[in-house]
Structure 1
Amino acid sequence: MRVMKWSMIALAVSAGTSQFAMASAQDDSKGFIEDSTASILTRTLYFSRDYRNHDAKQSRYEETGLGFHGLFSSGYTQGTIGVGVDVIGLLGVKLDSGKGRAGTGLFPTGSDGRSQDDYSKGGAAVKFRISNTVLKVGDQYTTAPVFASDDSRLLPELPQGISITSSEIKDLKLEAGHFTSIVAQDKSFRDSIGSSEPGTKTGLRDANFVGGVYAWTPEITTSLYYSKVEDYWKKLYANVNWTHALSNDQSVAVDFNIYDTKSDGAGLVRSDKDSTTKLNNRAFSLQGAYSVGAHTFTLAAQKVTGDGQYAYGVDGGGTIFLANSIARSDFNAEGEKSYQARYDLNMATFGIPGLSFMTRYVKGTGANIAITSNGKEWERDIEAKYVIQSGPAKDLSLRVRQATYRSSDQVYSGSLDELRLIAQYPLNIL
């Protein structure tokens, strides 16, 4: 699930269209070493989840971990076809856990019910560039709305496959991908999405997607994507994003997202809350935001129609660009309608740059689940974040995220209270 639901691709376009410039990026290449970058992101995460109406033996999950995310990205060799490599190294270290508190998704869990002391994963990709078109083969992160890797725990998911991204036409970005496996967030072996043991193949078989995003004006962008995940589903995704400045300190924004999903082949669905085997549904959301000075007010509505819930996960845990997919619930059950009210406060206006607050409330009704056709759920999130602006600890971010989720019908899960404390520090080596 995603914490911020403005389409990431639309935001990338609205932030600036320099990446879509017609000048050849390969012509500006300085060389394999000269354009290289290297960085390490450290993340310390405390995760606590306390169930309120949970029937299982374990009702509380609580762990703390330290993650290291290393990335080396070379430049491209000079010439008509540039060649380079990206190398990813990931390490997770357990700081605090226990047999009765394990299972947060931060670490792999052994047969004894305990979390591993540490785990690591990584990989590399070879990349080729002609003009403004890049072909990448190997391990790589993905952000397409129909195939997006998740980074909501200690270490991110890491897909393996082939991708191509082209920005030859001004304001137009095209991309396609073919992926055959994913290393899950809390695992260290390939094909681990939906698999508990190495060597099993119960998750992703073969996923292909194609799509793009176009900036019609500096204020309006649209995107369209199609994907097919073998024996799971076919998806069509569309997005319209509009932003408009009313004055120097006022603006409005509207974001619309829709998925059309149909089962493919065996029609597998990785979920325990879907009321059908075959999928044939539409999930859409519309949200609008008004910003004035330090304040942003957001309202959103979301609905799922047709057969089955909006399903995702085997195609990446981030593949849900819907407004009401928030910290705990996605509000994506069959037939569910949900509404959101959100408030953001940027304290830079009051002389404290780097400090921000957010709170939101989402309520869902009409969920068609196993025990009822009118399941209800609600979630309230509160977040505070501070990014240090200068000095030796510049860019260190400290975040507190608290979520309260309630559902007597267990639409998503049992009612719970969740707390995350996150400290991140990016270090640029090259």
Structure 2
Amino acid sequence: MQPSPRSALALAVSAILSLPALASEQSESQGFIEDADATLLLRNAYFNRDFKDGAADARTWGQAFIGTFESGFTQGTIGLGVDAFGLLGVKLDSGRGRNYSAFFDTDSEGRPVDDLSQAGAAVKLRVSNTVIKYGNQFPSMPVLAYDDSRLLPQSFTGTLLTSKEIEGLELNAGRFTGDSPMGDPARDPNRLKSIDVLGGNYTVSDDLSVALYHSDIEDMYKRYYGNFNYNIPFSDLQALNFDFNIYRTKYDDSSPAALAFGGDGQDDRNTIWSLAAKYSFGAHALILAHQRNTGDAGFAYDFGDGGSSIYLANSYYSDFNLKDERSWQASYELDFGTYGVPGLSYKFAYVRGSNISVVGDDNATEREIFNQFKYVVQEGAAKDLSFKLRNSIYRADNDVGPDLNEVRAFIEYPLNVL
């Protein structure tokens, strides 16, 4: 008989806490206030999605204030602490019919709200190098990852244990029962029942790392994830990196996630993997990647596991994760620091997906051209002020998705409060 997720979590916690401690972070604690950190991130974000098939465009502009506080831990064998955050998003421009809901929720008349706010906190306990945290938090794992790609970040409510008792090894185990999306201040509007996560990553050496995770979203799907990342340095200025990611998913019967991605709701399964090879030379990098999706349905995510829980090579505007899809990527990266502009970078990518199974077509296609510039001020009074401008040009067969051009612009400035 297989153990339940709760018993497996309890066994994992017990095993982790029984490991011999190495250098203990808790023994070096300076105190609740002494090790505390508080920041205020000012984020100005603009979003424009221009549909080419006659659908109403989405255009939204907003200003965010993202405050975070992380206390230190009290001294002693067991340390106690608190993490907290406060979020405020203010609408600068939008309107009924062109609002983007991931920025601002709408009122009863369909108009975007003028502002939205949220606050949350979590208590934490540390023994040696193991931390248990309960409350509102921002988990970031391949099978449960909060989304912070719009105006305000997504958050989750639950318990997460993170252990680093063995050098190079990080283990995670948790259970979450609430999901607060980016554009909605409600604590759990999507009514997440529960998601259990278990796994970890191990840095074997400076050039090799591996990861393995499992998650179970109640009434949605069970998922496994694996990663293998290997770097081959040729010199100080040249290296070849291989990054392999794979997800295997077993959808629950009648799962809305399976039905939304081409399944029939009965014993649907899915496997998706990507392999990327990146050759870096000086200020330049060339990337080739292949991604393949097989099974009874496409690869669904953000059904309780967060909008960033897709650690795959070909994920841009499109994720190229539809039923039976095969996609190729060719991309180029440039670091302008070598040419006298430190902090400025550029990325170009072209991705084409084919063999997509949709109603009436077993070989539908989609393609995307992606461009992004980013600049981070390196010194002076405006140090860490960043600018990011990204553009996606997306085209697809009619049964796959609407053609569109998308622009996202971000200006961010972090302020150290404490």
1:389 aligned partner: 378
Cα displacement (A) at 1:131: 0.2
Instruction: Pick 1 or 2: higher relative contact order, CA cutoff 8 A, min separation 6.
Output: 1
2:205 aligned partner: 217
1:122 aligned partner: 119
2:415 aligned partner: 427
The TM-score with structure 1 as length reference comes to 0.90
Within 1, Cα distance between the matches of 2:51 and 2:143? 31
Cα displacement (A) at 1:310: 0.6
Contact conserved, 1:38 with 1:429, CA < 8 A, in 2? yes
2:40 aligned partner: 40
1:8 aligned partner: none
Aligned residue for 2:63, secondary structure, equals strand
Within 1, Cα distance between the matches of 2:179 and 2:341? 41
Q: Alignment identity in percent?
A: 45
1:414 aligned partner: 402
Contact conserved, 1:46 with 1:421, CA < 8 A, in 2? yes
Contact conserved, 2:275 with 2:289, CA < 8 A, in 1? yes
Q: Deviations over 1:363-384 (max 9, x none)?
A: 0001112342211000001111
The TM-score with structure 2 as length reference comes to 0.92
1:198 aligned partner: none
Contact conserved, 1:300 with 1:323, CA < 8 A, in 2? yes
- Counterparts of residues 11-410 of structure 1 (less than 5 Å): 22-54=22-54, 58-193=55-190, 201=191, 204-264=192-252, 266-269=254-257, 272-278=260-266, 279-314=268-303, 315-326=305-316, 328-410=317-399
Within 1, Cα distance between the matches of 2:259 and 2:336? 40
Cα displacement (A) at 1:192: 2.2
Q: Which moved more, 1:28-37 or 1:107-116?
A: 107-116
Aligned residue for 2:300, secondary structure, equals coil
Q: Deviations over 1:90-133 (max 9, x none)?
A: 11000011223213521111232211000011200000000000
Contact conserved, 2:367 with 2:395, CA < 8 A, in 1? yes
Contact conserved, 1:86 with 1:127, CA < 8 A, in 2? yes
Cα displacement (A) at 1:294: 0.5
Aligned residue for 2:234, secondary structure, equals strand
Cα displacement (A) at 1:271: 6.7
Unaligned runs of 5+ in 2: 1-20
Unaligned runs of 5+ in 1: 1-20, 194-200
Q: Deviations over 1:165-207 (max 9, x none)?
A: 00111111111110001100010112223xxxxxxx3xx2110
AA aligned to 1:98 is G
Contact conserved, 1:41 with 1:426, CA < 8 A, in 2? yes
Within 2, Cα distance between the matches of 1:130 and 1:296? 42
